Structure 1
Amino acid sequence: MSKNQNKTGTYSFFNCIEKNFDKAAQFLSIEKGLLEQIKACNSVYRMHFPVKIGKEIKVIEAYRVQHSHHKLPCKGGIRYSTKVNQDEVMTLAALMTYKCAIVDVPFGGAKGGIKIDPQIISPENIEKITRRYTSELIKKNFIGPGIDVPAPDYGTGEKEMSWILDTFLSLRSGDVDALACVTGKPVSQGGVRGRKEATGLGVFYGIRELCYTKEDMYSVGLDVGLVGKKIIIQGLGNVGYHAATFFHEAGAVIIALAEREGAIYNEKGLNVSKVFLHLRNTGSILNFPEARNIENTEKALELECDILIPAALENVIHKNNANRIKAKIIGEAANGPTTPEADDILEKKGIIIVPDIYLNAGGVTVSYFEWLKNLSHVRYGRMEKKFSENMNAEFLHVIETVCKKKISSEEKKIILRGPREIDLVRSGLEDTMINGFHKIRDLKKSSKIKNMRTAAFVLAINKIIDSYEKLGIFP
């Protein structure tokens, strides 16, 4: 067993990213020192600060890592978990760098983490911790609209982002662009519509584009399109739930959903909304009336299906179960769900893997839109919505006059409506994911690279090198 592997034979998250980076480097004629610079984290801020919780003073461990300064600001979420450690935060920051490069979002990668369990700490104390963490970041110049822009991640959401914003405003009150210091905020505080479902919707757009590609579908023995595709999703958190919902609405069949406590299965398909309601009422997806239970959640990954979407933890597909995976396509909605050894096994089996560094970039893409909205101080759609409606009305009048036929009032409502903010955000996300997919696929074909993951890393590294060269940092 390699020194980089744990007792189950899976690699550490950090080593998985390094191995994938090194695979891609073989296809590049770039000096080793430059590659080492791209791999390295530029800045790591580890902090300990006291917070009074109840009658006791607790010392909180927290991190903020800025992986790359090839573009500024840096961008990445903040997670609250007892499993937070420096290696994990550094790895996630590196992934953010590559994701942003692939989808042409002009940020360097960053990540933050606070080592707490938000499930057992009161909201009042979480607020104290969040505000103190923010003030520590401000002291060291690790947050700001042009410096480093946090966002939600595991264990955090709109509420925590609003506390970060409020703390920043109180300490940087004269900053006219202060709203852009953090994304994932409530809409009432400068957030953007469509941010909450963005990662899951990005997963949907990416896999849908693959399913529309004849050559790729025929290579795995599937028909073109999403209708009727049998899908298994592991993880029913924010990403998994929204991805499942969009696939269900598009005509795909969600045959299994898996969570930590087990999985549920119905060959004819699960109603995602009903499952989520059952989860909310009972605290578990198990014993859902319209499905049978699978006690071992890992076994759900091995069921017959067309598309498998791991949307929860890293390293869930490894050398010990890769041979038993029966999916034709794996869409990595989670970060690092497949180990390098599993990659090799799955590739030999002809399974298409849509890699995490592309597929779950929907969140940072829409965060970028929110950041731009805050800097421009104008809501998306405000300037063009009425203009579009007026132009559509004129166009419709011409059609009715020429055709001598009136269009029904219901049809008129659909045709005349100008774009709302959520329409523009989703349109931008869709275009980004489609373009990203084809850039990876085209590079894979032209460079004779065997898989999408390596092609995605090559694409990211090339774009980062290009940015450094434009800055004049490298000769």
Structure 2
Amino acid sequence: MSKKNQSKADTYSFFSCIEKNFDKAARYLSIKKGLLEQIKSCNAVYRMHFPVKIGKKIQVIEAYRVQHSHHKLPCKGGIRYSIKVNQDEVMTLAALMTYKCAIVDVPFGGAKGGIKIDPQIISAENIEKITRRYTSELIKKNFIGPGIDVPAPDYGTGEREMSWIFDTFLSLSPGEVDALACVTGKPVSQGGVRGRKEATGLGVFYGIRELCKMKEEMSSVGLDVGLNGKKVIIQGLGNVGYHAATFFHEAGAIIVALAEMEGAIYNKKGLNVSNVILHLKKTGSILNFPESKNIEDTEKALELECDILIPAALENVIHKHNANRIKAKIIGEAANGPVTPEADDILEKKGVLIVPDIYLNAGGVTVSYFEWLKNLSHVRYGRMEKRFSENMNTELLQVIETSCRKKISIEEKKMILRGPREIDLVRSGLEDTMINGFHKIRDLKKSLKIENLRTAAFVLAINKIIDSYEKLGIFP
């Protein structure tokens, strides 16, 4: 966002946005105020400062781990490395994790972590020191463990950092048979699960695809059913935006614009995402991509003509000053909090369909759940059933060929006979989760006559959390 437009943006804090959406949902619930306040509040906030020797100097590192809700254990949430990390942000993201997990039936409480550093200017050796020291601090206070709190990657972190966390936990917890399950987002060689990297972007795709199958919703915004031919704009080409763009492109959607911090590129006939990424790696920027138009102000890309807009980068990028200029008919919140409450109201009056972040970007935590289960079961997905399925399919195919007196080609046989691989099962589970989550929100919206999908999603989450507390006997 340019400095000029940034100054225009709404002055909401991230946390206040979540509270406003929560309060809207509370109007549809006959729940005592005290119980609602309990759900909104963070159960535990651990703020720490620890020294790390970087070069010849001792640097004091500021870091956090927030456990928002203990209605289910373990708690679950990523760890971000950013110079902008602060307590309010980490608390807000932890709250979002609670609601996301509840909506998609992942049995975790929400958590989040953060370390206030700039990983771009710190060497890998020093990042490892900081990560291992942070992990040891979490262990001291019992803020990490397979049944307590399970971190994952977030902004500025990845498989490498998760490996260091796992190794540190294992070294300080000898004999812990389930140590692999202390963290998710690990490399496959260290107990990670195939399909984790693209999980959030793929979940975004599944969620929007399901919406586009609904004739009633599509008619309300003047669009045909299905994704084929839909014009899509994606802001942010990080892990989430890149994979979402790839899956939309493969499904027949037309990616007309891609936006990054330095600007955006536009081609009404469509952009090839893979070629854009190659250009980005070669030049360091998406700008000047062949046969596309440069847009210097990246925020202006949000205002271009399109059917579907996917903000997949920063919060508050759609606000009261630009909401009226948004031409998209569907907004899919791949990022956390990209639309402010005031912009929400403006867009709702315009008839724009917004698929909320607390549902749409839950693909990451869903597949993290699958990894956690894999680590606890100590067996790879597909290992038990792959060969059995192939043998059964072979026998079935032989019966079909005999009955029909027709031979099936070798290529078709390979496709039919193949048993499920781990990535097949993971993607199948993610697809089922996102489809079921969408219909639960949609059905609740209709039954309670709720004004939008976001409020319906919050109502669904709060109901599930209350139900968990009641089963625990915590609330009278």
Q: TM-score, normalised by structure 1?
A: 0.99
Gaps of 5+ in 1: none
- Residue 209 of structure 1 contacts residue 434 of structure 1 at CA under 8 Å; is this kept in 2? yes
C-alpha distance after superposition, 1:408-443 (max 9, x if no partner): 111100000000000000000000000000000000
RMSD across aligned positions (CA)? 0.9
> Do residues 108 (structure 1) and 109 (structure 2) align?
yes
SS at match of 2:303: coil
Aligned to 2:304: 303
C-alpha distance after superposition, 1:313-360 (max 9, x if no partner): 000000000000000000000000000000000000000000000000
Aligned to 1:152: 153
Aligned to 1:313: 314
Aligned to 2:273: 272
- Residue 10 of structure 1 contacts residue 339 of structure 1 at CA under 8 Å; is this kept in 2? no
Instruction: List aligned pairs for 1:48-447, cutoff 5 A.
Output: 48-447=49-448
Q: Distance in 2 between the 1:238 and 1:313 partners?
A: 13
- Residue 317 of structure 1 contacts residue 338 of structure 1 at CA under 8 Å; is this kept in 2? yes
- Amino acid paired to 2:340: T
Q: CA deviation at 1:6?
A: 8.3
Q: CA deviation at 1:10?
A: 3.4
Taking only the aligned residue pairs, the percentage that are identical comes to: 89
- Residue 51 of structure 1 contacts residue 57 of structure 1 at CA under 8 Å; is this kept in 2? yes
Q: Distance in 2 between the 1:6 and 1:260 partners?
A: 16
SS at match of 1:444: helix
Q: Distance in 1 between the 2:444 and 2:18 partners?
A: 20
Q: CA deviation at 1:289?
A: 1.2
- Residue 76 of structure 1 contacts residue 112 of structure 1 at CA under 8 Å; is this kept in 2? yes
- Residue 101 of structure 2 contacts residue 107 of structure 2 at CA under 8 Å; is this kept in 1? yes
- Amino acid paired to 2:446: K
- Residue 8 of structure 2 contacts residue 321 of structure 2 at CA under 8 Å; is this kept in 1? no
- Amino acid paired to 2:335: A
SS at match of 1:293: strand
Q: Distance in 1 between the 2:83 and 2:192 partners?
A: 28
C-alpha distance after superposition, 1:378-437 (max 9, x if no partner): 100000000100110011000000000000111100000000000000000000000000
- Structure-2 change in CA distance of 1:230 and 1:7 (3 Å): closer
- Residue 44 of structure 1 contacts residue 63 of structure 1 at CA under 8 Å; is this kept in 2? yes
Q: CA deviation at 1:281?
A: 1.2
Q: Distance in 1 between the 2:246 and 2:7 partners?
A: 35
- Amino acid paired to 2:435: I
- Residue 70 of structure 1 contacts residue 464 of structure 1 at CA under 8 Å; is this kept in 2? yes
Q: Distance in 2 between the 1:461 and 1:374 partners?
A: 29
Aligned to 2:46: 45
Q: CA deviation at 1:8?
A: 3.5
Q: Distance in 1 between the 2:8 and 2:229 partners?
A: 39
Q: CA deviation at 1:280?
A: 1.1
C-alpha distance after superposition, 1:283-325 (max 9, x if no partner): 1111111211000000000000000000000000000000000
Q: Distance in 2 between the 1:173 and 1:415 partners?
A: 45
Q: CA deviation at 1:11?
A: 1.1
C-alpha distance after superposition, 1:246-280 (max 9, x if no partner): 00000000000001110000000000000011111
SS at match of 2:228: coil
Q: Distance in 1 between the 2:450 and 2:8 partners?
A: 32
- Amino acid paired to 2:44: S
- Amino acid paired to 2:430: L
SS at match of 1:263: strand
Q: Distance in 2 between the 1:6 and 1:236 partners?
A: 24
- Residue 9 of structure 2 contacts residue 316 of structure 2 at CA under 8 Å; is this kept in 1? no
C-alpha distance after superposition, 1:169-226 (max 9, x if no partner): 0000111000000000000000000000000000000000000111110110000000
Q: Distance in 1 between the 2:357 and 2:245 partners?
A: 17
Q: CA deviation at 1:9?
A: 2.7
Q: Distance in 1 between the 2:7 and 2:452 partners?
A: 26
- Amino acid paired to 2:120: Q
> Do residues 8 (structure 1) and 22 (structure 2) align?
no
C-alpha distance after superposition, 1:49-84 (max 9, x if no partner): 000001111000000000000000000000000000
Q: Distance in 1 between the 2:204 and 2:151 partners?
A: 21
SS at match of 1:364: helix
- Structure-2 change in CA distance of 1:6 and 1:281 (3 Å): closer
- Residue 323 of structure 2 contacts residue 346 of structure 2 at CA under 8 Å; is this kept in 1? yes
Which consecutive segments of 4 or more residues in structure 1 shift more than 6 A?
Answer: none
C-alpha distance after superposition, 1:432-457 (max 9, x if no partner): 00000000000000000010000000
- Amino acid paired to 1:188: S
- Residue 10 of structure 1 contacts residue 318 of structure 1 at CA under 8 Å; is this kept in 2? no
Q: Distance in 1 between the 2:171 and 2:10 partners?
A: 49
- Residue 367 of structure 2 contacts residue 430 of structure 2 at CA under 8 Å; is this kept in 1? yes
SS at match of 1:254: strand
> Do residues 448 (structure 1) and 459 (structure 2) align?
no
- Amino acid paired to 1:412: K
Q: TM-score, normalised by structure 2?
A: 0.98
- Residue 68 of structure 2 contacts residue 109 of structure 2 at CA under 8 Å; is this kept in 1? yes
- Amino acid paired to 1:323: N
Q: CA deviation at 1:7?
A: 6.7
- Amino acid paired to 1:190: G
SS at match of 1:179: helix
